[in-house]
Structure formats: C-alpha cells, structure tokens
Homo-oligomer: A and B are copies of this chain.
Amino acid sequence: MSLFTPKQVAQAIGVSESSLKRWCDRGLIATVKTPGGHRKMTAAGVATFLRERQQPLVRPELLGLPSNAGKSRRVLDRAAEQFHQALAAGDEEVCRQVLVDLFLSEHRLARVFDTVVAPAYQQLGQRWQCRELEVFEERRAVQIGLRILGEIHRLLADPETDAPLALGGTWEGDFYQLPTNLAELTLRESGWRATNLGSSLPFATLEAAMTEHCPRLFWLSVSFVADDDKFVETCSGFLEKAEKLGVVVAMGGRELTEPLRQRLRAVSWCDGFQDLEALAAKLSSGNEPESAKGGDG
C-alpha cells in the first residue's frame, strides 16, 4: 500500500493544498500523521471521501487510478451498455474506467453489480450461446472483470477488526468466479469482514471453513448444478450444520430454480446483490451475538 502526500491528493482532486489540509483536520479524509506532523493518506481513504462528497477527480493518475476515473458522472443504464461493449471487445481500459467511475460516483456497489456488471455478463453468455462470441472472448471478459474487482477491492477501506465476519464461495463443479467475488465486495462495502474462499469447493471444505471461523453469514453462489439430487442432499447437511453454529446462509445464483429452492430450507435467498446487501444490513443492525449461538448441541 502506498501513502499519498497532501500535495499529490490536492492535485489529484484539483483543489488547493490549504483546503485539503482543512478537510483532513475536520476528519473528512482519513489521515495518518508522521511524528513530525506531516499528513499521509491512503488511496482507499481518498476514494471514500470522493464517494461521500461526490467530488470529481481532476487527475486520477496521480492516485494510480485510471486516467479518466471520476472526471464525469456516469448514468447507470448508459454505463451498462458501454461496459458490455467494452467487455466483448476486450477493452480493459474502458471497462475499468466505467466501473471505477461508478464506484467513485457513490453508487452502491450492489446496485452497480445488479444493473451493470451482472447484466453485461449475462448478455455475453447469451451472445456466446448464439455463437456470436468465442469462448475465449467470454473468458477474457471474466479475466478483465476479476482484475478490476481486485482494484476496487483495494479502494475499499479495510474492515474494522470487530466487524461481523462473512465467508462464501461456490460449490464443487461450479467454476464461476465472478459472482462470488461480487458478493465479497458487496459485503465489504457494507463494512463486513468478507472473505471469498474461492470456487469449486467441496462442501466438506466449506463446512470446515465455517466451523473454524464461525462467521455470522455464509454466502453460496450457485451458477452451475450438475446433479440436483446430490446438490440438495449435500447442501442440506451443510445447512443443518450452519443452523447449529448459528450461521446465516445466503444463497443466490442463476441456477437456483424454483423447484430447487423448495427443496432447501433455512436459507436466505438473494436474487441479486442488493438483496444480499439488505440481508447483511439486517444482520448487522439487529446484532444479537448471544442468542444466535444458543442452539448448539
């Protein structure tokens, strides 16, 4: 992680150094001070400020951000189409600009994911099925997406050490990485200590992770199910275990068909990341650390 001086940040935002110093002293921007009293800021801290204040970035490159980030406000629906086109063309720079712009424009990530990212990849999937796109183009789009999400990951402030814990991933055979990554970021933005365990994990492993860390929330992203019966069976055992531990399980994904859902109980369904965010908010507001763990035995 690199630290930025007031001069750099002031130039990046396009304001005078004096103003920037005042904002720091008023607590608007997270600032650390050297023993000598010099201020230093992190990219995440500045990004948080920019989002809260809707402040445009004049020279984003000074903060290591894409060269056009934050210069203009973006509208969600227009961005969706632009993002989709850029993804299909493999234009990583444009993709990055669109997403980082939206992020800095204080749009909730969950909303961006639901209205821009997810639809774009759905469209790509459709175009791939129609033979309009080659497989590698779809894979390349995923690569690009993962890279950009990684950057946004770094722009989010580190969660508090006492923030509620969330784990999640995808089940064995489900190699889709984007949805579970999106879930992780959604929860991180909501202040959770969310960790994506990865894709294609045996349920035994998921259980082990849950038992070891005992999170408040566990998300399961389901984009592929080979065998409904096996899935339901294994998953049911997992859910039982979760209930005993007092872990809330959230499931979402395009493969969760209605018949499949009816065969699973004790699950919070999330159709989209805004659902997940709402669930997380409910959980962390109505914090009941004692009673939740009660039924162990």
Contacts and interface: CB of A to CB of B under 8 A. Distances in A.
A214 interface: no
Contacts of A199: 139
Contacts of A151: 150-151, 154
Given A32-B55, A208-B134, A198 B139 contact: yes
Contacts of A2: 14
Nearest to A53: B35
A143 B198 contact: yes
A58 B43 CA distance: 12
A87 to B, nearest CB: 13
Nearest to A93: B1
Contacts of A175: 175, 200
B32 A134 contact: no
Contact of A35 (B33, B55, B197, B200): B55
Interface in A174-215: 175, 195-202, 204-206, 208-209, 212
B59 A205 contact: no
Interface size bucket, A side? 35 or more
A34 B58 contact: no
Given A19-B34, A195-B90, A136 B206 contact: yes
Nearest to A142: B198
A1 B150 CA distance: 15
Given A15-B34, A140-B197, A135 B3 contact: no
A267 interface: no
B56 A36 contact: no
A201 B134 CA distance: 10
Nearest to A34: B15
A151 to B, nearest CB: 7
Contact of A135 (B1, B28, B201): B201
A75 B87 CA distance: 39
Contacts of A195: 90, 140
A285 to B, nearest CB: 27
10 contacts: A19-B34, A19-B36, A32-B55, A90-B195, A136-B205, A136-B206, A136-B208, A139-B201, A140-B196, A146-B150
